[in-house]
Homo-oligomer: A and B are copies of this chain.
Amino acid sequence: VHRTKVRIVEDALDANNTIARANREDFDRHGVAVVNLMSAPGAGKTTLLERALAQPLAGVRAGVLEGDVQGSFDADRLAALHVPVTQLNTDPGFGGECHLDANMVRSAMPAVPLSEIDLLVIENVGNLVCPAEFRVGEDARAMVCSVTEGEDKPLKYPLMFRTCELVVINKIDLLPHLEFDLDLFLYHLDQVNTGVARMLVSARTGEGVERWRDWLVSVTQRAAATVA
């Protein structure tokens, strides 16, 4: 039974990768760089996007695809920024899917104004496990980890921390009020993804947000250079 289950999962991932490549080709055709942004629930993805997109990015027109089980709370927040926001709900699955996969993103693509943007940030469902397992056609994966979550998270969710090229460490304004050992967290992070880029930010105070904005611009430029 176990072997059968693994086989089914592998087939599902193969199918997912095929669709992810098709998504990738469509994004490339429109010259759109794609960031898959992941985190645990409440780590601050939406607030970081609000902060990043409150002012135009240098030479980059951004859009957002919001993945949620239900509702459009985050999309409504971001819509106030005058960037195109598309809502993608996963609840038709039953109880709701805990992640975005390539086919869900594909189904939402007709609603994304690809010809009007240079960068699409896909805000995944808040979850540290399954989102890391499904490519959606992205150029880069980034994750947000809040200092309120504890130092052990890289060890407990290694695939997520390993699959990202950037780890945004958020809510650092709370550090004086926590017993969070940042050095220990970074030690654990390097154990699962040695030397991965990381930045310390506070979406609430704005500290470090300029680096996060710079990173989004650099990913867009890198993708454009690769396609061209």
Find out whether the CB atom of A93 lies under 8 angstroms from the CB atom of B127: no
Determine the distance from Cα of A23 to Cα of B68 in the docked complex, in whole angstroms: 33
Find out whether the CB atom of B157 lies under 8 angstroms from the CB atom of A69: yes
A149 within 8 A of B: yes
Number of A residues near B (Cβ < 8 Å) is: 47
Find out whether the CB atom of B92 lies under 8 angstroms from the CB atom of A2: yes
A22 within 8 A of B: no
Encoded as 1 (CB less than 8 Å from any B CB) or 0, chain A from 127 to 162 comes to: 111101100000000000010111011011111000
Encoded as 1 (CB less than 8 Å from any B CB) or 0, chain A from 151 to 194 comes to: 01101111100000000000101100111000000000000000
Find out whether the CB atom of A93 lies under 8 angstroms from the CB atom of B132: no
A95 within 8 A of B: yes
A106 within 8 A of B: no
* Residue in B closest to A148 when the chains form the complex, CB atoms: B148
Residue numbers in B under 8 Å from A41 (CB-CB): 40, 128, 149, 153, 156-157
A113 within 8 A of B: no
Find out whether the CB atom of A204 lies under 8 angstroms from the CB atom of B179: yes
A70 within 8 A of B: yes
| 5 additional A-B residue pairs with CB within 8 Å, beyond A73-B156, A94-B133, A148-B171 | A9-B94, A10-B94, A40-B41, A98-B127, A179-B204
